[in-house]
Structure 1
């Protein structure tokens, strides 16, 4: 029997498409209101579905006299196998679509300038083993030396936004562009013991050096309840620099969200979950609202534009996009997706727990006038970041 390259290609496409279909399912499922243990059970089905499919399709469609690897055709296979091959090969189509979107994505016109600084926290520790361990934290040092692992390489960003004003705001045309607001956005710290306290000290220092008008935090603070004191210390130090506003995320929901919420609020930070309030910073009137949906509460009821300069929404996930558009928000700050955490060459990010899949893995986006900043986050519960540094961002908003 002669080996068939085309048959091998068909089987390979089926395996790739099968994996993509499982990824699509997992991404959408993990965007829903499920507890961590239930997500893990479903994830095991995903693992089995991806790992067992190649030997299954090889045994039933690849080998034997009519096997695709030895000159057989799809029409020679049973109706069930033909259906499986057709469905899984079609799974390659959304993979191609998401990869093209990733590689040809463009920044929104509202983003007029950006600047980044990369801080290698392990390099700062130098040869001091004790200090290096304070950066690494509780994980074995193998994670620090894993090839191209970036969990200790903090990216500090400054992004300048020029937002067009919606009708109904107070400022006359002549004043537009004269008001500016500096917002320091960070999210998804995921205190889990790794990275360690020295890494978080650097994060605090970098955020403080931004000298913003306000800090905002958009959820997923803890993965280990015992580390709440370290989180409180971070928020206390930042409260000494500028006022802070926060919401929580799904990982906080899986712990004791009321305890976390009360501890952070006690530092002076303002909890805006499920509500909106009008605040003013150096003459800039802001309607600031927060949502932790779908995990906790509901999207807040907000009034129509009535003279404020900026309508700002804090949302743990970018999935509240349509709510933000419907309620005339100018800017939505969120996280949750970690930038994909592992970003593959050409393909881009693969896993993002969002109803939009990898479309809003991380970065700046625009949708129907809404500008979205989806931060890659600070932490890494899964101790690997590849082509996806942790980040903090100062947004300099010109209104």
Structure 2
């Protein structure tokens, strides 16, 4: 085998172990087990290429002179088969990446899309990165954690009520209030949300995961305004603290929680049903009610893996987060980190299956304040009807 083959195999090797980690992280496994499993995967990721590269030099130590050559033969066959397997994984993964990139935003749904980029570090008097760990991460070249992208998208929804055409909905997700980004970052975000003058604000989980950040809610989410209401569910990181208390605090600030039951309301004379799905970490979700004629149905789900349920619930629009858009996007290779059973397929974008449209946000922040080629997103969705 030549070095080109080994290079392709190394790419496939990376895809393989990242895919395993992504899919395992999609399930509600206890954190200590999940962390241990991830460390094992990282160890294999590092050790296997080293073992294969050093095999010619170390074989004499593994099999002493005069020892059985059958073991040498077996190890050689195993190594070569793994290399070819990784080459196959690399080719298939790269083809899948091309398909994903081409179909990330459904052109039949997204009629128009513009991006406004803001650098919060230039707007704030002090850096929002808090603590020594965050300060070190801030200095990593290309870190886009505070470079918010305001993504304005006009979405054509099947069966959307004409009386609601032009409805402006802001989709927020994955705020991850941990203290690594301080309160000023989220207060600046609040200013941008209100500048858009939304009709509705929807927040799809991973809001606050440190109790010391609870006081932040009043000056951030509590100050966001929307004519027709503010709605939220929680995500897996919200369960790190007393999520019941987080829910109560948000409800006291005027937000409507959708995680435990369906909510019926009227927007501009149109009947609206709103539901939530917090699986796999909390649930099961409430049974969807029968859909009325002319009703608009909106579902908030933390993970895009619940898209099949959203379709069964007859949602017109489903909103999800959790996957952070991949968080680290490598040129050519694309998104990397995406805790989903589908890997990076639904890490962000607009998708349609049948009568249901799914919008997946890249999120506003993350537990680790590091983003590469994947800026945080404030999605401003204008919902329209086919003329």
Using the size of structure 2 for normalisation, the TM-score is: 0.89
Query: Residue 138 of structure 1 aligns with which residue?
Result: 131
| 1:98 aligned onto 2:96 | yes
| 1:19 aligned onto 2:14 | yes
Out of 147, 155, 161, the residue aligned to residue 141 of structure 2 is 147
Unpaired segments of 5 or more residues in structure 1? 1-5, 66-74, 126-130
Query: Residue 63 of structure 2 aligns with which residue?
Result: none
Q: Compute the RMSD of aligned alpha carbons.
A: 2.4
Query: Residue 80 of structure 1 aligns with which residue?
Result: 78
Could you tell me whether the CA contact under 8 Å between 2:198 and 2:225 is conserved in 1? no
Query: Residue 57 of structure 1 aligns with which residue?
Result: 52
Query: Residue 72 of structure 1 aligns with which residue?
Result: none
- Compute the displacement of 1:241 (Å): 6.4
Please state whether the residue corresponding to 1:136 is helix, strand or coil.
Answer: coil
Deviates more, 1:334-343 or 1:318-327: 318-327
After superposing on structure 2, the runs of 4+ consecutive aligned residues of structure 1 that deviate more than 6 Å are 61-65
- Output one character per residue of 1:76-110: Cα deviation in whole Å (capped at 9) or x when no partner: 97333343333333321342133212432353212
1:214–1:83 Cα change, 3 Å: same
| 1:117 aligned onto 2:116 | yes
Deviates more, 1:48-57 or 1:137-146: 137-146
Query: Residue 172 of structure 2 aligns with which residue?
Result: 186
CA distance in 2, matches of 1:179, 1:239: 20
Query: Residue 3 of structure 1 aligns with which residue?
Result: none
| 1:237 aligned onto 2:223 | yes
Query: Residue 375 of structure 2 aligns with which residue?
Result: 389
CA distance in 2, matches of 1:323, 1:236: 30
Could you tell me whether the CA contact under 8 Å between 1:221 and 1:231 is conserved in 2? no
- Compute the displacement of 1:329 (Å): 1.1
Please state whether the residue corresponding to 2:382 is helix, strand or coil.
Answer: strand
Out of 287, 303, 316, the residue aligned to residue 330 of structure 1 is 316
Using the size of structure 1 for normalisation, the TM-score is: 0.86
Count of matched residue positions in the alignment of Structure 1 and Structure 2:
372
Could you tell me whether the CA contact under 8 Å between 1:155 and 1:391 is conserved in 2? yes
CA distance in 2, matches of 1:61, 1:223: 49
Could you tell me whether the CA contact under 8 Å between 1:182 and 1:397 is conserved in 2? yes
Query: Residue 36 of structure 1 aligns with which residue?
Result: 31
- Compute the displacement of 1:182 (Å): 1.8
- Compute the displacement of 1:307 (Å): 1.9
1:310–1:242 Cα change, 3 Å: closer
CA distance in 2, matches of 1:252, 1:262: 13
Alignment of 1:4-15 (within 5 A): 6-15=1-10
1:387–1:78 Cα change, 3 Å: closer
1:63–1:12 Cα change, 3 Å: farther
Could you tell me whether the CA contact under 8 Å between 1:7 and 1:62 is conserved in 2? no
- Output one character per residue of 1:122-181: Cα deviation in whole Å (capped at 9) or x when no partner: 1223xxxxx223x23335534333211110111112211121218xxxx6xxxx476332
